[in-house]
Structure 1
Amino acid sequence: MNTKTKVLLAEDEISLGMIIQESLESRDFEVVLCSNGEIAWEKYKTSKPEILVLDVMMPKKDGFTLAEEIRKIDPFTPIIFLTSKGQTEDVVKGFGQGGNDYIRKPFSMEELIVRIKAQLSRKQLKTQQSDWLELGKFEFHPTRQLLKFGTTESPLTARESQLLQILLENCNDITDRSLILNQIWGADDFFNARSMDVFITKLRKKLQDDPEIQILNIRGYGYKLVC
């Protein structure tokens, strides 16, 4: 039985597309490679991928337009954009079109693979949001925005809950700072970064009853939830 994760990859630079395809297939992914947005749209409808990796600048149908069309019928399959465009407004537009992550070219294959796995883990966790999730000696309910320690329940704000969920999805791994900022605050800038630091401090206080739980600041990269 085929248990490989199916990735739909849309990349109009043929050599880059083949490099990405070979790298992912060597990690036991199944890759459907498309050279433009129109082909990717047709392949999406027939191949039922578990995650999409879309170049933004493609002929016939760009990645943003393709993502917008997919989101009309599929709000759940993760979408990662690949692009050489690095302006803040482009990143914001990408998330606004339904993207889950945004990788600027050039990038390492290890970075892409880590981000694909993070999105797949997040997708799996979302199917469990009706349940309590274990977090050390705590339990966390993302949908109800609650932390439970023993029999004591503590409410979380929507932003605290979003932040904790992203950290938990990448538990014991580094969570990219810009990924958090773009997904929750909508932009990676100085003022949002300061706001995020405040929320990290709030979460640390709410989790302090379990000394085994730490939220580490990995300078220059992001945060790591150690549990």
Structure 2
Amino acid sequence: MTEAVKVLIIEDDPFISDLLELYLVQEGFLVSMAYDGEAGWEMYYDEAPDFVILDIMLPKMDGWEVCREIRRDERQVPILMLTGKGESYDKIKGLQLGADDYVVKPFEPKEIIARMQAILRRTSPYKHERKSLYFENMQIDVQQHQLLRKNESVILPSKELELLYFLALEKNQVFTRQQLVDSIWGYDYEGDVRTIDVHIKRIREKIGDEWPYWKLKTIRGVGYKFEVNDHV
């Protein structure tokens, strides 16, 4: 990393917070900590972190609500959620609210760091190489983290924007869920490939389609593609 990444840990267990801080500082991250959701929400706006580690079960304001509020910020800072539960409901809900990844307690601090680094690679790779993409009534600009639909800004969490950009860049090419997970989440991702379905559904809800010019299409039994009609 050429510039220190500021991490905000919102976790009410001091042991977990202190342990994460120790490992993160050793890796060169700058760390701030909050011990309840309300304080974490305030620190998010006061300190403008580059990354948030967010527990679900928090006093005063739970992690779901904090995540929801953070996702209203145009900066779309990456969020890694911590949960003591392993149920798929918690995982899917976190992704639907815009979290980039989740880790179930107990965990190894090194796993947190590995997942953080993977998220950071995915949410800000190739910034100087990637270009804006233009389609009928839509512009995707990942450098500015901006999506314009009919000249109006549409806010997408970083993972959704990455996924849409990847599919649009490789227009008319079909990708399986596993290929998309490997490309966007990384080969070390151990979560469920159905994550893709959740994100595709949310993207469609926000951008719709512009057929006969373009649409985000499901290829039944295979995966997805961003279909563009080059003959219109």
Q: Does structure 2 conserve the Cα–Cα contact (< 8 Å) formed by 1:121 and 1:169?
A: no
Paired residue for 2:145?
none
TM-score by length of 1: 0.65
Q: Does structure 1 conserve the Cα–Cα contact (< 8 Å) formed by 2:92 and 2:195?
A: no
Which is helix-richer, 1 or 2?
Answer: 1
For residues 188 and 59 of structure 2, the distance between their equivalents in structure 1, rounded to whole angstroms, comes to: 33
The residue type paired with residue 8 of structure 1 is: L
Structure 1 residues 10 and 126, CA gap change in structure 2 (3 angstroms): farther
Query: Is the counterpart of residue 167 in structure 1 residue 182 in structure 2?
Result: yes
Q: Does structure 1 conserve the Cα–Cα contact (< 8 Å) formed by 2:181 and 2:193?
A: no
The residue type paired with residue 144 of structure 1 is: A
Query: Is the counterpart of residue 176 in structure 1 residue 193 in structure 2?
Result: no
For residues 21 and 173 of structure 2, the distance between their equivalents in structure 1, rounded to whole angstroms, comes to: 41
The residue type paired with residue 130 of structure 1 is: K
Paired residue for 2:26?
26
For residues 172 and 179 of structure 2, the distance between their equivalents in structure 1, rounded to whole angstroms, comes to: 13
Structure 1 residues 56 and 126, CA gap change in structure 2 (3 angstroms): farther
User: Could you say what secondary structure the match of 1:115 adopts?
Assistant: helix
Tell me the matched-pair count.
Answer: 171
1:162 Cα deviation from its structure 2 partner: 7.1
Query: Is the counterpart of residue 155 in structure 1 residue 179 in structure 2?
Result: no
Where does 1:91-102 land on structure 2 (aligned, <5 Å)?
A: 91-102=91-102
RMSD, matched Cα: 3.0
Structure 1 residues 126 and 91, CA gap change in structure 2 (3 angstroms): farther
TM-score by length of 2: 0.64
Query: Is the counterpart of residue 142 in structure 1 residue 158 in structure 2?
Result: no
The residue type paired with residue 83 of structure 2 is: T
Structure 1 residues 39 and 87, CA gap change in structure 2 (3 angstroms): same
For residues 115 and 68 of structure 1, the distance between their equivalents in structure 2, rounded to whole angstroms, comes to: 21
The residue type paired with residue 142 of structure 1 is: F
1:32 Cα deviation from its structure 2 partner: 0.8
Q: Structure 2: any 5+ residue segments left out of the alignment?
A: 134-164, 200-220, 225-232
CA displacement, residues 11-60 of structure 1 (integer Å, 9 cap, x when unaligned): 10011111111111011101111101111111100111111100000000
User: Could you say what secondary structure the match of 2:124 adopts?
Assistant: helix
Identity level (%): 27
